[in-house]
């Protein structure tokens, strides 16, 4: 499914750049950019490897996308249902739990455990369920190819800012851009809590023990090498942002566009603002991916 991508001239003027586009993955039918990869993974593993049971370690957009995908599959295959176990940690918020609980049925369960990722690994190793894990499964990258192709249709796009946790989205988009004669810059954005890749490029920040952008949580960064290569090859960068910078951008976007974007979804714009403040300039279009809630 293609998502909205359009220019925001008033916001561009407020930021001091020529042309700004937002890629609105928050309008995706699955609720976020995770709907590009997770449903594809489920479909491919079911079709090609006959997997019937899946497990995911997530309390956010990835789990919601998986739940929606399983629900949709079962609605269309009533005689051949699949199942999903959603493993969440002890710190899940009440709001997120309510969103996930809405999908619970005979095929979709939620379990709160001390170590969701390790529990999922165990289930995968014992053959109880296949662990849907974008951080190491290259099948996930294919899901982001259409996203990169859609962005590449924007005239004179020169830079793309991507909120980044595992790096799968940035890597998938960058692999599409390698086919272009003049690929746009790849810029990744992480938080002062979790920045194992962006901090290689941006050292001007103070580490914190929390962030309002809770979706940026992958501190292992298995995709670090290909993501850093993509940034270097396109002459982009990485940016580390604080809660104060995130909130300031939420306020600016609301003032100039009447939109209220989430702390996670707005990170691309926050990184763009930091880049501008550090002297970066473009004479063509800059795209910020709004990832979701």
Backbone CA torsion sign across 139, 140, 146, 152: negative
Hunting for tokens 């974007």 — which residue is that? Answer: 261
DSSP state of 258: S
pLDDT tens digits, residue range 210-266? 999 999 999 999 999 999 999 999 999 999 999 999 999 999 999 999 999 999 999
Residue 116: φ, ψ to 5°: -60, -45
Fold of the domain spanning 34-131: Rossmann fold (3.40.50)
Closest to 284 measured CA to CA, from 159, 143, 107, 100: 159
Q: What are the pLDDT digits (tens) for 262-278?
A: 999 999 999 999 999 99
Q: Report whether 54 contacts 42 (CB < 8 A).
A: yes
Phi and psi angles of residue 285, each rounded to the nearest 5 degrees, phi first? -80, 140
165-220: pLDDT as tens digits = 999 999 999 999 998 989 999 999 999 999 999 999 999 999 999 999 999 999 99
Provide the residue count of the chain: 293
Q: For domain 4-31+144-290, give the CATH number.
A: 3.40.50.1100
Share above pLDDT 90 across residues of the chain, in percent, rounded to a whole number:
95
Read off the pLDDT of each residue in 52-62 and give the average, rounded to a whole number.
Answer: 93
Helical residues (DSSP H) of the chain, grouped into ranges:
9-15, 34-49, 61-76, 94-101, 116-125, 139-143, 145-152, 168-177, 224-233, 243-257, 267-277
Residues of the chain with CATH 3.40.50.1100: 4-31+144-290, 34-131
Three-state DSSP class for 21?
Answer: strand
DSSP 260-278: ---TTTTHHHHHHHHHHHT
With CA atoms as reference, report the closest residue to 116 among 27, 217, 206, 24. 217
Whether the Cβ atoms of residue 289 and residue 160 lie closer than 8 Å to each other = yes
Q: What is the pLDDT of residue 208?
A: 98
| Separation of CA 191 from chain center | 13
Residue 175 pLDDT? 97
Phi first, then psi, for residue 80 (nearest 5°) are: -145, 60
Q: Are 201 and 190 in contact (CB under 8 A)?
A: no
pLDDT of residue 91: 83
The whole-number pLDDT of residue 188 equals 98
Helices (H), 167-208: 168-177
10: left (phi over 0), alpha (psi -120 to 50) or beta: alpha
Contacts of 216 (CB under 8 A, 6+ apart): 163, 164, 165, 190, 191, 193, 194, 195, 264, 267
What pLDDT, in 10s, does the model give residues 280-292? 999 999 999 999 8
State both tokens at 108.
Answer: 């979709």
8 Å CB contact between 288 and 20? yes
- pTM attached to this predicted model: 0.96
- Average confidence score pLDDT of the chain: 96
């Amino acid at each position: 499914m293609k998502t909205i991508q359009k220019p925001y001239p008033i916001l561009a003027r407020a930021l001091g750049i020529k042309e700004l586009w937002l890629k609105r993955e928050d309008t995706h039918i699955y609720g976020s950019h995770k709907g590009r990869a997770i449903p594809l993974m489920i479909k491919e593993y079911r079709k090609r490897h006959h997997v019937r049971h899946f497990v995911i370690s997530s309390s956010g957009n990835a789990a919601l996308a998986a739940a929606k995908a399983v629900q949709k599959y079962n609605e269309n295959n009533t005689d051949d249902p699949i199942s999903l176990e959603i493993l969440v940690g002890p710190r899940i918020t009440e709001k997120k739990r309510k969103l996930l609980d809405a999908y619970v049925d005979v095929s979709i369960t939620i379990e709160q455990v001390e170590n969701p990722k390790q529990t999922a690994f165990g289930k995968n190793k014992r053959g109880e369920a296949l662990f849907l894990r974008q951080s190491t499964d290259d099948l996930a990258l294919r899901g982001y190819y259409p996203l990169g192709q859609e962005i590449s249709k924007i005239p004179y796009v020169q830079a793309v800012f991507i909120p980044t946790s595992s790096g799968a989205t940035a890597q998938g988009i960058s692999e599409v851009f390698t086919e272009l004669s003049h690929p746009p810059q790849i810029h990744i954005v992480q938080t002062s809590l979790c920045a194992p890749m962006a901090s290689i490029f941006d050292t001007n920040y103070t580490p914190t023990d929390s962030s309002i952008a809770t979706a940026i949580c992958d501190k292992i960064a298995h995709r670090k090498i290909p993501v850093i290569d993509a940034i270097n090859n396109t002459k982009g960068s990485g940016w580390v942002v604080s809660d104060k910078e995130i909130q300031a951008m939420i306020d600016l976007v609301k003032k100039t566009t009447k939109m209220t974007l989430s702390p996670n979804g707005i990170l691309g714009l926050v990184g763009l603002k930091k880049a501008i403040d550090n002297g970066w300039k473009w004479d063509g279009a800059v795209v910020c991916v709004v990832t979701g809630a």
